[in-house]
Structure 1
Amino acid sequence: MHRLIQNEWIKIFRQISTYIMIGFLLLVLIAGGAISKYLDTRAELGNEHWKEELQSEVIENKEMLADSDIVMAPSLKGYLKQEIAIGEYRIEHNLPPTQPSSMWTFIGENAQMTSLVGLLVIIVASGIVANEFSRGTIKNLLIKPYKRWKILLSKYITTILLLLFMLAILFVGSALIGVILFGTGDAAHNTHLAYANGKVVEQSLLIYLIKTYLFNSLSVFMLTTMAFMISAVFRISGLAIGISIFLLMSGGTITNLLASKFEWPKYSLFANTNLMQYIDGTPLVEGMTMSFSITMMAIYFVLFLLLAFVFFTKRDIAN
């Protein structure tokens, strides 16, 4: 198995497209950091009236929440409650909502770029099996003294290793570029305000950022697995790329819209991949718990891999 994984890893890094993906990710990080540095005036602005402005926002949110004529989803109600609680906490403890830019803020800003990492890795996952069929190299692979399930498993493990590698580049690259452009910042600002169980709590910013990156990566991980499954089942990389990228970009939005009117979307994949809703927010559908979301993701994960292995190991290789 180790030899198979090693061979797959070598295959990936023999392709110039892999280095283009890495270079593109780093280029986006550098460009984003340069733009942030150029536009950053937060430290110099020193808004002395932030308390008054924040108090006005709190009052507006309370009025919106109390307005019985407005029909809103439970997730939106939870969001408003969160904003009210955090706003009042900041006013009470003299914590401005805008902090000077630092390595930590830059890392946090780039957490959403896990979607870009997902986009790049999904392309690899979509072709790692399908391309073997399209290029006719699958027969050469199957005549080796390895069982089919081991061959497929090695490809999947290699895909996940690539995902972890790209996420590490994102996090470490953000940290290095952030410290060069903005410095490490004031230790007094390295605290994150989280809203959990109806209360505002202060958390270590480093721990929060690590959680954010890990939890944001769950949807990418699941979509990568789905793309791998489609590649193994249909042997068409374009189909796997198209479906996976569409769901990556719009799956969450569609689920949020449906969840505002129905309860059944809580069983969908995208309602459960965001575990941050249990740590720093409110569940998408009332009654959802972290254990429920983990269980649903486990079911989808097993289903995806089961389909991939059954179709790959049972189907005849005619061409």
Structure 2
Amino acid sequence: MFNLIRNEWMKIFKRVGTYVMLGLLVAIIGITGATSKYLDSQKKVSDEWKKEVQTQIAEDKEMLKGNMPGYMKEETEKSIAINEYRLENDLKPYQKANVWSYVEDNAYLVMFVGLFTIIVSAGIVASEFTWGTIKLLLIRPISRSKILISKYITVLLYGLSQLVVLFVVSFLLGLILFGGIGESAHLAYVDGAVVEQNMVWYLIKTYLLKTIDVAMMATMAFMISAVFRSSSLAIGISVFLLFMGSNLTSLIAMKFDWAKFSLFANTDLTQYTGFQPPLVKGMTMGFSITMILVYFVIFQVLAFVFFTKRDVAS
């Protein structure tokens, strides 16, 4: 199995596109760094932060009096709770960016990691059929299941490596641009209460939990690739759902609670760590993990059944 994974890994890095995607990821991080540095230089540090926080609380409470979608209401309640906690405990909010706030902001760039992983995942099976190399694989004394497993593990390792690049480069660039480590605690709003979390552990946990999102999107692309033998179809469908799936689910969730059964309502487990509120009120991490496992099993069963049972002689 190790040799199979190594061979698949070598195939990925023999392609020019792999280095292009890596370069694009680093370039995007650089662009966000330059933008953050410029915006940070325009900020004015105020000595009357308590007054500003009190004003923000008053504005948020006024907003709550109107009709708001559930998601926006929870965001506003979170803002009020955190700001009140700051006043009670004399915790000054960020007024200038630091390395940790920059790394936290770049967590949203995981969508690009997902995009690049989808491209690799969509082609790792379908390309074998396109180039006709699938026959060379199948004549070897190795079961089809092992071949597919090795390809899937390689995809996951590639996605994980991209996340590591995102985190490490963001940290190093943030350290260069903003210096220092700043505030060591992160205020999160979890289960209706404000809790202080260690900043380093919070960021590591956030990035690790976001690997679930990347892994599920890659798994879906992998399944489509194995079922339809088309990398373009797998990329097209998966990329569309990557960028639109959560947005469409959010719109549905404003009206219907059954939106919580959608894959895209559950893959982002950071909604249970204070990074953002749950998409549908009442959702729990246990529920989301269960839904993820259900979708994972469905995707894997489809991929393995079609790959191992279908005739590839043609």
**What TM-score range do you get, normalising by the shorter chain?**
over 0.9
> Is 1:290 matched with 2:289?
no
Task: Find the aligned partners of 1:115 and 1:132 in 2 and give their Cα distance.
Answer: 26
The residue number in structure 2 matching 1:32 is 32
Residue-pair matches, total: 313
The residue number in structure 1 matching 2:6 is 6
Q: Which amino acid aligns with 2:51?
A: E
Aligned counterparts, 1:38-77, within 5 A: 38-41=38-41, 45-67=44-66, 70=67, 72-77=68-73
Structure 2 counterpart of 1:212, from 195, 206, 209? 206
Task: Find the aligned partners of 2:277 and 2:30 in 1 and give their Cα distance.
Answer: 33
Aligned counterparts, 1:300-315, within 5 A: 300-315=295-310
The residue number in structure 1 matching 2:218 is 224
Aligned counterparts, 1:68-147, within 5 A: 70=67, 72-147=68-143
Query: Residue by residue, what CA displacement relative to the aligned partner does 1:175-214 show, whole Å, maximum 9, x if unpaired?
Result: 111112222233xx12110111221111111111112112
For 1:270, what is the secondary structure of its paired residue?
helix
Q: Which amino acid aligns with 2:65?
A: A
Gaps of 5+ in 2: none
C-alpha displacement of 1:269: 0.4
Q: Which TM-score applies when normalising by structure 1?
A: 0.93
> Is 1:318 matched with 2:309?
no
Aligned counterparts, 1:248-259, within 5 A: 248-259=242-253
- Larger mean CA deviation between 287-296 and 94-103 belongs to 94-103
Task: Find the aligned partners of 1:34 and 1:74 in 2 and give their Cα distance.
Answer: 35
Task: Find the aligned partners of 2:273 and 2:103 in 1 and give their Cα distance.
Answer: 19
CA contact (8 A) 2:271 2:277 kept: yes
The residue number in structure 1 matching 2:21 is 21
CA contact (8 A) 2:135 2:313 kept: no
C-alpha displacement of 1:30: 2.2
Identity of aligned residues (%): 54
- Larger mean CA deviation between 28-37 and 200-209 belongs to 28-37
Task: Find the aligned partners of 2:257 and 2:196 in 1 and give their Cα distance.
Answer: 32
The residue number in structure 1 matching 2:254 is 260
Q: Which TM-score applies when normalising by structure 2?
A: 0.95
The residue number in structure 1 matching 2:195 is 201
C-alpha displacement of 1:53: 2.8
Task: Find the aligned partners of 1:286 and 1:107 in 2 and give their Cα distance.
Answer: 28
- Larger mean CA deviation between 103-112 and 33-42 belongs to 33-42
CA contact (8 A) 2:263 2:291 kept: yes
CA contact (8 A) 2:209 2:268 kept: yes
* Residues 294 and 211 of structure 1, relative CA distance in 2, 3 Å threshold: same
Task: Find the aligned partners of 1:36 and 1:77 in 2 and give their Cα distance.
Answer: 28
For 1:95, what is the secondary structure of its paired residue?
coil
Task: Find the aligned partners of 1:63 and 1:166 in 2 and give their Cα distance.
Answer: 43
Aligned counterparts, 1:165-244, within 5 A: 165-186=161-182, 189-244=183-238
Gaps of 5+ in 1: none
